[in-house]
Amino acid sequence: MKTKSILWILRKLTKMSKRKDTFIALDFELATGVRNSVCSIGIAVFKKGKLVNEYYSLVKPPKNEYHWGNSRVHKIKSKHTKNSPTFKEIYPEVKEILQGCNLMVAHNEGFDRDVLEKVMTHYGLDYSELNLPNPWEDTVTIFQEKGTESAKLTNLCKEYNIDIKPHNALEDARACGLLYLLR
């Protein structure tokens, strides 16, 4: 009986280690300092260490209001999202991609996870139905623990030769995923 238990545990550990290269990386850009003010979302899906799917959408934030400081960073303004769908309108697509994912990755995971929870709450959506892990893997923490001089996404991308247009949600999600594979 103990032999079966040990074999079962070894198989389980082997499967878990293989799953580290199958994950979803997620990034949001916000219109204001309020965490439900999503103006763009980027999702990069990795399976067996390869980028297999991407999702990007501009999102009309509540009242389509922007803070100039946020727009200065990501270059998205109300004129860009006035005809874009709200998060509630894109949620069925987002849900289809994210639901039940065993491994989520973000650069500063606490921020992106909180944004997802807050925007879903704002629109009366149930975050728990996504059945996502808590916490997610955090590339900031991973690279800080490796002793990198700066865990800023643009600096890490420069250090590891990853092309990126910073503060574009899809580019950031993709870069985050590629960095996670280098951990």
Q: What's the mean per-residue pLDDT of the chain? A: 91
pLDDT of residue 12: 46
> Residue 71: is its pLDDT beyond 60?
yes
pLDDT of residue 5: 53
- Which CB contacts under 8 angstroms, 24+ apart, belong to 16-22? 18/48, 19/102, 19/103, 20/103, 21/46, 21/47, 21/48, 21/49, 21/181, 22/46, 22/47, 22/48, 22/102, 22/103
Structural domains for the chain: 23-182 (3.30.420.10)
Using one digit for the tens of pLDDT, what is the confidence trace for 135-172?
999 999 999 999 988 999 999 999 999 999 999 999 99
Q: Which whole number is the average pLDDT over 11-30?
A: 74
